[in-house]
Structure formats: C-alpha cells, structure tokens
Amino acid sequence: MEAGTAEFPYTSKLTLTMSSKIDDPYLPIYGNKCIGLRFGTLDMHGVPKKPVWTVMESTVEKGATKIQLQGEINWVVGDEIGIAATSYVGREGERRFIEAIDRTDPKKPILTLHKPLEYRHYAEDYKVGTKDP
C-alpha cells in the first residue's frame, strides 16, 4: 500500500478505520486491531508538520479553549494535537482538534481548540531554542 511519496506527499485527508470487539481473535505479535504487514510494504508520506512539537507560551487553566505557542508552525485547521500532562498524573494529557489559528504574531500563534481543556496545563518559563536546564 502506498499513500504519497517523500517527493510528492499525499495532501488530502486519509482515514483508516479499524474496528474490533474486545473478544475478537488475537493475532500473535500484532494484536486484534492493527495494520500488520508481513512480506509487504506500507509506505505513507503526508505533508511534514513542522515543528512536530513545541512549547506553550503560558499556563492554561481547566476550561480554556485557546492556547498560545512559542515559535512558528505550519499546522492547519483540522489538525489533531496532543497536549502533554504537566502534573504527576500522566492521564491528564489531552487530544484536541485545531478549530482556528490566529497568526497575528507568527512567532506566537494562538490555537482555538474544538472543546475546552479538562485539566490545567502548566507552562514553565522556557523559550524554544534554548538549552534544556
């Protein structure tokens, strides 16, 4: 299966839907919901997202629907992002879809999320491009 190439990335939306029930047969090594290849090739190339991760400009509280980032991004409306947990509870990481992007200041874009955050996300005084402490 091939979707795009490194030279000509696939630019449309591609959705792979995998469904199963908890008691469906389990394939050794692969599991019961997977894309498993043996003696085949799965080659998928989409538009590279740059950067693949960044830092929030400031702490956001529970219920926030906007976050400000540090640095330029090529992300677009509809992209799904992950917001890492910043507490000792790893399950407080959240996934959201980008509903709007305010690029008034390209170095500090503001993302509008499709639904409010369920947890507070702390942003330390850290600047992208600086050395880790």
Average pLDDT by stretches of 10, the chain with 133 residues: 90 83 78 78 89 94 97 95 92 97 97 98 72 51
pLDDT, position 133: 46
pLDDT, position 127: 62
pLDDT, position 24: 81
What is the domain range of residue 82?
A: 55-113
pLDDT, position 71: 93
pLDDT, position 111: 98
User: Does residue 131 sit within a domain?
Assistant: no
On whether both 11 and 40 belong to a single domain, the answer is: yes
Q: Which residues contact 32 (CB under 8 A, 6 or more apart)?
A: 20, 24, 25, 26
pLDDT, position 15: 86
On whether both 41 and 60 belong to a single domain, the answer is: no
Q: How many domains does the chain have?
A: 2
User: Does residue 74 sit within a domain?
Assistant: yes
pTM: 0.71
User: Does residue 125 sit within a domain?
Assistant: no
On whether both 65 and 42 belong to a single domain, the answer is: no
The Cα–Cα gap between 62 and 53 comes to: 21
Residue 52, amino acid? V
The Cα–Cα gap between 100 and 103 comes to: 10
The Cα–Cα gap between 53 and 34 comes to: 26
User: Does residue 128 sit within a domain?
Assistant: no
On whether both 91 and 42 belong to a single domain, the answer is: no
Q: Which residues contact 65 (CB under 8 A, 6 or more apart)?
A: 112, 113, 115, 116, 117
